[in-house]
Amino acid sequence: MFVRRIAVVGTGYVGLTTGACLASLGHHVVCADVDAEKIKRLSNGEVDILEPGLADLVAGGLAAGRLSFVLGAAAAVEGSEVMFLCVPTPMGVGGVADLSVVESVLEEVATLLPAGAVVVNKSTVPVGTAQRTAELLERDDIAVVSNPEFLREGSAVHDFLHPDRIVVGCDTQDAAEKVAALYARLGAPTVLTDAASAELVKYAANCFLAMKLSYVNAVAELCDRLGADISDVTEGMGYDKRIGQAFLQPGPGWGGSCLPKDTSAMLQLADAADFEFRLIRATIDTNNRQRQRMVEKVRLAVTGKRGGSLSKVRLGILGLTFKAGTDDLRDSPALAVSALLRQAGAKLTGYDPALRSSDTRADLDGITVVDDPYRAAEGVEALVVLTEWPEFRGLDWGKLAGVVSRPVVVDTRNLLDPDVLRRAGFEWNGLGRP
């Protein structure tokens, strides 16, 4: 296997995972970031994101001398054969992906990249970005490759080292094969295609996942109205291999740093191509509606009537991150529902296993964050489960029944066992479950 000298620009979830995993595969990797503090901590092996296995990989790479961290892209690209771009491509005006960071990095390194180097877009970028990247570089001795990442937060290292597939898009066969060879040891199916198709794979895949979730959330609503049980319905659906059991868990809506951004970027892409992508429009609308539906469920559970007032009602929130297993709050459905509950006048005390009460992130404004789930339950009229942390199942519900003012649970993740709750004296309200 060829050991390559690789530069990775951006050390967030995607960049740090990519760098550390490629170093663990034997490559020499220099990671760069603009955040000097972060680079100092990483150089000491301190990883500040919650990703199982990542800190060990970083420590291993540092110890083996195959992984290092530098400030700024320019310092990383010297002598590198491949440069991965893993910098933010946030949602810009009108939902279009904002490429300003990508472009500023390219300007910084355009003249510094060695002849024959390959620039790889790993960030999620709109169709046509590889072409735009080549135009910005103005170097015909540099190839540009699209190599989207499919890792999930909370299992990033596992997903990187056990990929369902590798997608590599480039109009130059050599460059495409050079990038594909970096992953050879993983033994995954590899899709070699043109850059535009590779760029679209990422959006199409993420939008399909979002669509599947909006669909199951809509079916759960139907179950609520028809008295059917969504758990049995999804089990019955999921045995069909064409559907699969994965991503059929109803909830308060989908969120995170990717699905919301990528669905709206796909809409813009389609609009720009004069195509009204109604399915994606409906997927996003269903998701926004789902967040509102959670508030209606709380109103009904607390007041016993549809649309009942939540003014000055004290609620305990269990789960604030966008999903279990991560400390990421970006576009969290739990925070979106919490904001709607506050707008309705409710007073919120929240607990999340990945967060501390000392957390000052603005996303948590208006929620009293505590370090103990039992404190979050003190004197509340209902507990609302918004993130599917498994540890909530193991809580002492008998003890909780003793501290709440009313033993009512709204479980927007169908996470808890209704029988356990009922034996503890709680009224349990799930999604699409009788």
| Residue 86: active-site member | no
Among 7, 13, 62, 224, binds ligand UDX (CB under 6 A): 13
Binding of ligand UDX by 259 (CB under 6 A) = yes
Site membership for ligand UDX, residue 15 (CB under 6 A): yes
256 vs 407, beta carbon nearer ligand UDX: 256
Q: How far apart are CA 161 and CA 151, in angstroms?
A: 10
Closer Cβ to ligand UDX, 155 or 197, answer by number: 155
Q: Is 219 in the site for ligand UDX (CB under 6 A)?
A: no
| Shortest Å distance, C-beta 264 to ligand UDX | 12
Judged by CB, which is closer to ligand UDX: 152, or 406?
Answer: 152
Cβ 319 to ligand UDX shortest distance, Å: 10
Residues 6+ apart with CB under 8 A from 44: none
Stretch that binds ligand UDX, among 84-92, 133-141, 181-189, 223-231 (CB under 6 A): 84-92
By the rule CB under 6 A, 336 interacts with ligand UDX:
no
In 3D space, the residue among 321, 380, 319 whose CA is nearest the CA of residue 348 turns out to be 380
Q: Is 234 in the site for ligand UDX (CB under 6 A)?
A: no
First to last CA, the chain: 56
Chain position carrying tokens 């979002």 = 210
- Reduce the DSSP state of residue 34 to 3 states and report it: coil
The reply on whether position 256 binds ligand UDX by CB under 6 A is yes
Separation CA 68–CA 323 (nearest Å): 31
Q: At what angle do helices 13-24 and 54-63 cross, to 10 degrees?
A: 50
Cα–Cα–Cα angle for 208, 123, 361, rounded to 5 degrees? 90
What whole-number distance in Å separates Cα of residue 243 and Cα of residue 234? 10
For position 199 contacting ligand UDX by CB under 6 A, the verdict is: no
Q: Rounded to whole angstroms, how far apart are CA atoms 424 and 418?
A: 10
CB-count burial class (<10 Å; 0-12, 13-18, 19+) for 78: middle
Residue 97 DSSP label:
B
Residue 327 found at the interface with ligand UDX (CB under 6 A): no
- Which helix (H) or strand (E) covers residue 410, if one does? strand 408-411
Q: Helix, strand, or coil here: 84?
A: strand
If the CB atoms of residues 169 and 255 are measured against ligand UDX, the closer one turns out to be 255
The one among 6, 7, 8, 14 contacting ligand UDX by CB under 6 A = 14
213 scored as a contact of ligand UDX (CB under 6 A):
yes
Any contact of residue 163 with ligand UDX (CB under 6 A)? Answer: no
State the minimum distance, in angstroms, from the CB of residue 124 to ligand UDX: 3
Give the nearest residue (CB) to ligand UDX: 12
Ranges within 113-152 binding ligand UDX (CB under 6 A): 123-124, 149-152
Compute the distance between CA of residue 369 and CA of residue 166 in angstroms, rounded to an integer.
40
Stretch that binds ligand UDX, among 31-39, 264-272, 286-294, 358-366 (CB under 6 A): 31-39
Residue of the chain from 19, 61, 88, 126 that contacts ligand UDX (CB under 6 A): 88
Among 22, 39, 113, 209, binds ligand UDX (CB under 6 A): 209
Containing 7, the helix (H) or strand (E) segment is strand 5-9
| Smaller CB separation from ligand UDX, 282 or 403 | 282
Which residue in this structure is represented by tokens 């739990």? 334
Please tell me which residue in 21, 31, 170, 258 is annotated as part of the active site: 258
For ligand UDX, which residue of 51, 81, 153, 327 counts as binding (CB under 6 A)? 153
CB of 90 to ligand UDX, least distance (A): 6
Query: Is 247 near ligand UDX (CB under 6 A)?
Result: yes
Q: What is the DSSP letter of 186?
A: G
Question: Any alpha helices (H) in 246-332, and if so which ranges?
Answer: 259-272, 278-303
Q: What is the CA radius of gyration of the chain?
A: 23
Alpha-carbon 90 to chain mean position: 13
Kindly tell me which of 101 and 181 has the beta carbon lying closer to ligand UDX.
101
Tell me how many degrees the CA angle 259-385-417 measures, rounded to the nearest 5.
Answer: 115
**Footprint of ligand UDX (CB under 6 A):** 9-15, 33-35, 38, 86-89, 101, 104-105, 123-124, 149-153, 206, 209, 213, 247-249, 251, 254-259, 322-323, 333
Q: Give catalytic residue positions.
A: 258
